[in-house]
């Protein structure tokens, strides 16, 4: 399992195209944080943008596996299909934790350097972003397994657009200040429960699809 996780990280960070994409995203976020110090930007970065970026690593791994035909090679490893899928989800979760750490550091900048927002409401937005990222990760991973890397990537882009459009619509029609006055504890509790349930559903659906695809592939090879 460790080898699969390291392979996924290599494909995400060591292949030039993927590495350039992440470096560009990182630089873009840093640039926005450096010049835009208002509350709207803080929520957009910590509550929307970074959660979405953090939930995207499996698409890079699946794309490279499709190109190289690595799934066929993976079947020769002394690992069950369950452990293979678990390793993929663990690599995604580790990447997600990295994005949470980056998001937390940005939160500290807005709280203690820019003094845009107090610590407690900033933590609420940060936790909301964690919940969003976990839910999006679950949906996108399941979509990638069902639809494949190309259509799954389109699904991720569609979800990203919907989240950004939803934030802009809420900010313009409801107002960020009014959003912060909602019963956030109840909303976060419900969101956390839904995100965790989605994660388990995503894993078992992905495992089922992965197993069925391999059986289909094996049958086709025998013919």
Single pTM value for the model? 0.84
Which residues fall within 8 angstroms of residue 131, CB to CB, at 6 or more apart? 188, 191, 192, 195
Domain assignment present for 75: yes
Of the given ranges (12-16, 82-86, 198-202, 205-209), which has the lowest mean pLDDT?
12-16
| Tokens matching residue 7 | 């392979």
**What is the tens place of the pLDDT at every residue in 192-208?**
998 999 999 999 999 99
Which whole number is the average pLDDT over 76-88?
Answer: 84
Q: Is the pLDDT of residue 186 over 90?
A: no
Query: Is 195 a member of any domain?
Result: yes
Q: Is residue 95 part of a domain?
A: yes
Q: Is the predicted pLDDT of residue 180 greater than 70, yes or no?
A: no
**Per-residue pLDDT at 116 exceeds 60:** yes
Query: What is the number of structural domains in the chain?
Result: 1
Q: Which of 104, 74, 105, 53 is nearest to 8 (CA)?
A: 74
Q: Which domain holds residue 95?
A: 2-25+56-216
């Amino acid at each position: 399992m460790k080898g699969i996780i390291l392979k996924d990280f290599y494909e995400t960070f060591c292949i030039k195209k993927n590495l350039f994409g992440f470096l560009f995203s990182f630089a873009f976020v840093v640039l926005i944080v450096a010049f835009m110090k208002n509350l709207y930007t803080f929520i957009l970065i910590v509550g929307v943008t970074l959660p979405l970026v953090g939930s995207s690593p499996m698409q890079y791994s699946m794309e490279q596996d499709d190109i190289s035909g690595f799934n066929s090679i993976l079947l020769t490893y002394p690992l069950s299909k369950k452990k293979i899928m678990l390793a993929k989800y663990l690599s995604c979760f580790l990447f997600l934790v990295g994005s949470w750490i980056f998001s937390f550091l940005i939160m500290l900048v807005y709280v203690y350097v820019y003094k845009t927002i107090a610590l407690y409401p900033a933590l609420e937005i940060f936790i909301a972003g964690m919940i969003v990222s976990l839910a999006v990760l679950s949906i996108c991973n399941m979509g990638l397994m069902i639809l494949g890397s190309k259509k799954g990537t389109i699904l991720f882009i569609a979800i990203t657009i919907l989240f950004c459009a939803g934030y802009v619509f809420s900010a313009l029609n409801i107002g960020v200040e009014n959003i912060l006055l909602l019963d956030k504890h109840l909303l976060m509790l419900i969101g956390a429960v839904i995100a965790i349930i989605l994660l388990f559903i995503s894993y078992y659906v992905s495992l089922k699809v992965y197993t069925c695809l391999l059986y289909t592939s094996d049958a086709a090879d025998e013919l």
